[in-house]
Amino acid sequence: MSNGNPAMRRELGQFGSGFQWRIALAAVVCAVLGQQTALAADTAFVATPVGPPVVVFDPARDACDGHDVADVPLRAWRGDDGLIHAFALHYENRRLSGKSLPALKIECPVAFRGNGDGDPKKYDDRVWIAATWTTDGRRISALAHHEFQANNHKGRCRYPEYMKCWWNTVLDLRSADGGRSFVRGASPVVMATPFPQEVEQGRHRGFFNPSNIVEKDGAFHMLVGTTGWNGQPGGVCLFRSTDPDKGDWRGWTGAGFTARFPDPYGGPVPARQTCKTISPFPAPVGAIVRHRGSGKFLAVYQASAGASDGMGGMLSAPGFYLAASANLTDWSSPTLVLPTKSYYDDACGAGTIRNYPVLIDERAEGRNFDNIGDEALLFFAETRVEGCQHTSDRKLIARKVRISTYLRQ
């Protein structure tokens, strides 16, 4: 060491020589490696319930008719009238409004309904408003979950069962009056299977349950469930649009946002395209929000025990889970938010199942509640079960949660 750096000699000189020096050097190396490991560790986000559940909508108390039950994830925006407006109920789409999220109340006029039409080319069977976006609180762009329930239309399905005949598409809807009423966009089909509803009957087919819309780098994104079909894996795909008002959404292929899934009844169908499914999500995502403190995106979703955790393992418990991402394509392994059975579990003996989790912050920036701080509300639907049967007792529940992080090796 006689020709080494004098400052380094002074630092090492305090440790003496021989065995003591080697121990000290090993300690320094371990400290450096420990720092590198900490830097490489996964930052896990946790949403911990810290408040009691609050019933926001109870069909026994609040419904306008028997269709009014919590049946989709809550989608809210700030209106130009100073109120918060939302959709969270059934296919008789009625707006909820209030001065705060817990104070939301139903309005009985129907904002949009499908007409139960038996012609699949009309995309007018059963429709749920599933995502919204607005820049001014008055003009609302919406994405709708559309079900063609072919079992209810004579001659349209080879099977009598709902699930074997269920064909799903996502539709474009528009409102010019703050969400009081909606009409179809000029080209209403946002995404559909590359084949008509008669094909591959015998199982659920299509795109379904879009998440809310979030803005990133000047573009708009959402996660959409897909059942999969020949050439397309099932799971969840990421879609992007440069302008929600145009209704033009392209799917992530793993290399870019280039996959399109147009109306199969609208003319010659282009060559089949594939969107890349996103881990760790086994099924539709309830909501995506940007965490204001970190800039990370957080996704909350429901899953059953035994579902993939996206990292080669399996989830040990059914419930609501949370995953984080910096870019919307690569997500962390999930953390458990609330243990509960959902529609993906055997309901027998459960008493209650919970579905459609959403994280939402009343102090969010902007009109669309697409970001949260370190405290938020967890909204979800809670369904009473009798024996093994789901009932129409489906409440909309809110519960305060706290967002925190820890380093996970």
> Do 69 and 178 have their domain in common?
yes
> Do 10 and 105 have their domain in common?
no
Per-residue pLDDT of the chain (409 residues; tens, 9 = 90+): 333 333 333 232 333 334 343 333 334 334 433 333 333 467 899 999 998 999 999 999 999 999 999 999 999 999 999 999 999 999 999 999 999 999 999 999 999 999 999 999 999 999 999 999 999 999 999 999 999 999 999 999 999 999 999 999 999 999 999 999 999 998 999 999 999 999 999 999 999 999 999 999 999 999 999 999 999 999 999 999 999 988 899 999 999 999 999 999 998 877 889 999 999 999 999 999 999 999 999 999 999 999 999 889 999 999 999 999 999 999 999 999 999 999 999 999 999 999 999 999 999 999 999 999 999 999 999 999 999 999 999 999 999 999 999 887 6
> Do 356 and 387 have their domain in common?
yes
Domain assignment of residue 139, yes or no: yes
> Do 143 and 80 have their domain in common?
yes
> Do 54 and 103 have their domain in common?
yes
For the record, the structure tokens of 252 come out as: 């992530």
* Pairing of β 105-112 and β 126-134: unpaired
Q: What is the span of the domain harbouring residue 289?
A: 42-408
From CA 211, how far away is CA 225, in angstroms rounded?
9
Domain assignment of residue 1, yes or no: no
> Do 27 and 103 have their domain in common?
no
> Do 321 and 346 have their domain in common?
yes
From CA 311, how far away is CA 323, in angstroms rounded?
12
> Do 155 and 15 have their domain in common?
no
Domain assignment of residue 85, yes or no: yes
- Considering its fold, how many domains does the chain have in total? 2
Q: 109: domain CATH number?
A: 2.115.10.20
> Do 239 and 263 have their domain in common?
yes
From CA 124, how far away is CA 229, in angstroms rounded?
23
> Do 26 and 96 have their domain in common?
no
Domain assignment of residue 350, yes or no: yes
- Phi, psi of 257, rounded to the nearest 5 degrees: -95, 85
> Do 25 and 109 have their domain in common?
no
From CA 319, how far away is CA 300, in angstroms rounded?
10
Domain assignment of residue 236, yes or no: yes
- A 10 A CB-CB count for 327 gives 11
> Do 137 and 186 have their domain in common?
yes
